[in-house]
Amino acid sequence: MAKSDDCVHILQGLLIFGNVVIGLCGIALTAECIYVVSNSDGPYPLLKATENRDIHAAAWIGIFVGLALFALSILGIIGVVRASRTLLLVYIILMLITFAFEMASCITAATHQDSLTPDLFLKQMLERYQKSDPNKNSDNEVTKTWDELMRQNHCCGVNGPSDWQDYMSAFRLTHSDADYPWPRMCCVLDAQGSPVNLDGCKLGVSGYYNSNGCYDAISGPVNAHTWGVAWFGFAILCWTFCVLLGTMFYWSGIEY
């Protein structure tokens, strides 16, 4: 009898520890998703222009799931300590609902990360950079973001300056190919912002133009956000799965 009591106490201890971890992870998930939702610098205008707000939806769900996990973990600890069937049943059912929501958030974030291919940004850049349409404010945002991106990261285009040669673009309609094989921002600029050697830049002499593509500079921060939401949520769910299985086993052993 004493051995069974020891086993019970060990199970209780494990469940309480598991719920403590879930509570802390819930707080961390909430904090991280608030950061993702509010972080709007860098290449964010490009994402907004793609009209793909999945990462925002996933982050908003993550905020509420995190708070729910924290509250449910406290409920779980109380239920385990008091060995109450009702409390634990409520805990299990609410945890399953939270599990389903967090599953949706993870899969949405992973899908969003998948959809951010170089071709997506290439098409957007070709169609909207320097479109010079005064009515559409979002095109100005795209132009300003790309200019800032190319200036700060010393890059050009998505895959390289040849993007501007391989494809027609809104930029090409207003800037002739002979004068602007690629935008001025692709040239190496001096302190005043004018090209160091304009002819060298137009010809593509190395050292006078930026030959790298900007895709790495875009996908780096965006991937950090998406991976944070998707994979951290996935890790929490794996841990929650184990704790829930233990709780169900504990619940089925409580006598009335």
> Residue 38 or residue 75: which is nearer to other proteins going by CB?
75
Quote the least distance from Cβ 120 to other proteins, whole Å: 4
> Residue 38 or residue 226: which is nearer to other proteins going by CB?
226
> Residue 38 or residue 78: which is nearer to other proteins going by CB?
78
Quote the least distance from Cβ 223 to other proteins, whole Å: 10
Quote the least distance from Cβ 2 to other proteins, whole Å: 13
Quote the least distance from Cβ 134 to other proteins, whole Å: 22
Q: Beta-carbon neighbour count of residue 256 at 10 Å?
A: 3
Q: Beta-carbon neighbour count of residue 15 at 10 Å?
A: 22
Place of tokens 């600029």: 189
> Is the Cβ–Cβ distance between 62 and 29 less than 8 Å?
yes
Quote the least distance from Cβ 161 to other proteins, whole Å: 6
Quote the least distance from Cβ 119 to other proteins, whole Å: 5
> Residue 70 or residue 250: which is nearer to other proteins going by CB?
250
Q: How far apart are CA 163 and CA 246, in angstroms?
A: 56
What 3-state class would DSSP assign to 174? Answer: helix
> Is the Cβ–Cβ distance between 185 and 161 less than 8 Å?
no
Q: Which of 61, 65, 92 is nearest to 76 (CA)?
A: 92
Binding site for other proteins (CB under 8 A): 4, 7-8, 83, 92-93, 96, 99-100, 103, 106-107, 110-111, 113-115, 117, 119-120, 122-123, 126-127, 161-162, 165-169, 172, 176-179, 181, 199, 202-206, 209, 211, 230-231, 234, 237-238, 241, 244-245, 248, 250-256
> Residue 63 or residue 106: which is nearer to other proteins going by CB?
106
> Residue 54 or residue 191: which is nearer to other proteins going by CB?
54
DSSP annotation of 188 reads: P
CB burial of residue 96 (10 Å; 0-12, 13-18, 19+): exposed
Q: What are phi and psi of 189, to 5 degrees?
A: -105, 150
